[in-house]
A and B are shown apart, each in its own frame.
Chain A
Amino acid sequence: MIQFFRGFVPGIFVMLFCLVFSPLYLTAAEGQEYIAIRKEGAGNIALVLDKLDARGRKETRFAQSLDATMHDGLDFTKLFSLISPPLNVKDISDRKNVVINFPALTSVGAEVYAGGVVTMKSDMIILDMKVYEAAGSKLLLNKTYTGTEANLRSVGHAFCADLVELLTGKKSVFGSKIVFVSNKTGFKEIYQCDFDGYGVEQLTNSKSISMNPTLSPDGKNLAYIDFTSGRPTLYIKNLNGGRTAAVGKSAVSIDPGWRNNNELAATLSFDGNQEIYLVNSDGTLSRRVTNSKSIDISPTFSPDGSKMAFVSSRNGLPQIFIQDIASGQVKRLTFSGRYNTQPSWSPAGDKIVYTTWEKGGEINIFTINADGSGLLQLTQRCGENKSPSWSPNGDMIVFTSNRQGREKLYVMNSKGGDERVLLQVDGEQTQPSWSLFR
């Protein structure tokens, strides 16, 4: 079996990032198309990420910082085997014409080489990166990234994002955010951090109970549940300094999930029963979706919004069902396990991740194909593992675990490997939700 990786070689391409408030902008590169051939299941990409060249004290300091950012960022993805550069990897006797020693690279098993130069122009830091295929010495990427010292991390991650897209053909985690609940102040409040746990920021300060945060696909709105009014109420907060809309029906609101940028779904119980409703992002009700005398909660949508997975106790114990939004037709998805909750539909649309509360008291994470086939257990024998949420490219899953005592955020790959702590901060962290945007 052969897998094709698509990439592009841009021509001379200088991009100025205005990074102060705008998100990273990745341009579809121009130039000739490159296709690398790798055996499927070949594992990680063997990469030599060379130390950046720099002259001058400031430049050297920024280069070292970028080295660390790019190394840690690429390592976080677990897509690469990072190989130390061989000593004779390049000949820099002529600075204008650096010669890369490709035989030395292939002899250490490198498939790809990435290196670059850091220079400065007034206060702007300029990172020129080149990526080569080691065997064949073909130039795969030649791109300039520019930013200020304040957003050096974003500059490094912009290159990491391009490299991952170039070599895997898929979008990366770089630039994405994770929202979650933490009780470190003594109250459950909502926080966000970068994909790698960096830059934790508190988003609510209600000194009540805030729960189940989830970002709209465009990242402009945060939906969450909050008890400030005395009862669990659905709020939709505009993160660009706009207003916060409360869904103004009494009774109880539970666990929102976005269908698209303008519409989300949540359980509301104002008619006496827990039913799922579609709600507009301004907080007005659109329409009711479920109709059963039992509990219906935790809506999560297929990428095109046509189908909704959710939890229902209509057959007695909580199980996951899929409802076609247009026809209303419902199909039961899970048949294994007696208590299946917390579904999250993958960004590619093929899988649903959820948790099973097992007899022995463990809670474990499983994935299942949207057609009910391919059940896969991702966690085992490590306490309660809850609230799984996909990374924007579906490569990784963020979740909570109490395996070391208190509940903390962890990440793993979509098959359950590479499990590790995301964030070491005080208190307990729960209910993480990964943004779709990057």
Chain B
Amino acid sequence: MKRNSIIVFALMVTAGCSSKSAVTPDDASSGQSSSSSSSSFPRSPSGYGFDEWQTGPLGDVFFDYDSAILSTEAQEQLKQNGGWIESNVSKSALIEGHCDDRGTSEYNLALGDRRAASAKEYLVRFGISASRLETVSFGEERPFVSGQSEEAWAKNRRAHFVVK
């Protein structure tokens, strides 16, 4: 069991490394082609909201078990996302709510909906027009990481941002 989780973790790390190195040149080229977007973010954002599944300009936010409440880090990330959305007026965002696969799938579909909705609500209060923010829930149907460990579950409890 322990060995399995170490292997899973090792795979995650290597997957992260390989995808990052693959993505960086793309980011650089897209940065050149869309030089009009005056983003203040580094080309390969890293930190709280960014990992191998989130390499775009908007970071993801993470949630506690059975919760749609925004932590301090989540609110910080949403402020950054709000800044980018505000300054990229031609863009809109799809916010996907996701859950870990514990519990039951119907409840998780509702919980994912609430996670997406609370991220949206924060951005609307920040000043973003609700019409530029779409939400959807995938519940436990599209996990980012498979496996039964605290790390995997924590990675899967998120509101995932997709630029439209």
Q: Which A residues fall within an 8 A CB radius of B?
A: 188, 209, 211-212, 225, 227, 230-232, 251-252, 254-255, 267, 269, 272-274, 295, 297-298, 311, 317-318, 339, 341-342, 355, 357, 361, 363, 386-387, 430-431
Contacts and interface: CB of A to CB of B under 8 A. Distances in A.
Please name the 4 residue pairs, one residue from A and one from B, whose CB atoms are nearest each other, closest first.
A255-B106, A295-B110, A341-B104, A231-B136
13 contacts: A212-B106, A227-B138, A252-B109, A254-B110, A269-B113, A295-B107, A295-B110, A311-B107, A339-B66, A341-B104, A341-B106, A342-B106, A386-B104
Contacts of B109: 211, 225, 232, 252, 254-255, 297
Contacts of A355: 104
Nearest to B120: A272
Given A231-B137, A317-B66, 17 more contacts: A209-B141, A212-B106, A227-B141, A232-B109, A232-B136, A269-B117, A272-B117, A273-B117, A295-B107, A297-B110, A341-B103, A341-B104, A341-B106, A342-B106, A355-B104, A357-B102, A386-B104
B164 to A, nearest CB: 11
B135 interface: yes
B137 A339 contact: no
Contacts, number: 71
Contacts of A361: 102
A162 B66 CA distance: 49
A124 B48 CA distance: 73
A68 to B, nearest CB: 37
Contact of B106 (A251, A254, A272, A339): A254
B105 interface: yes
Contacts of A387: 104
Interface in B92-124: 102-107, 109-111, 113-114, 117
Nearest to A386: B104
A264 to B, nearest CB: 15
A191 B120 CA distance: 36
Contact of B111 (A273, A295, A298): A295
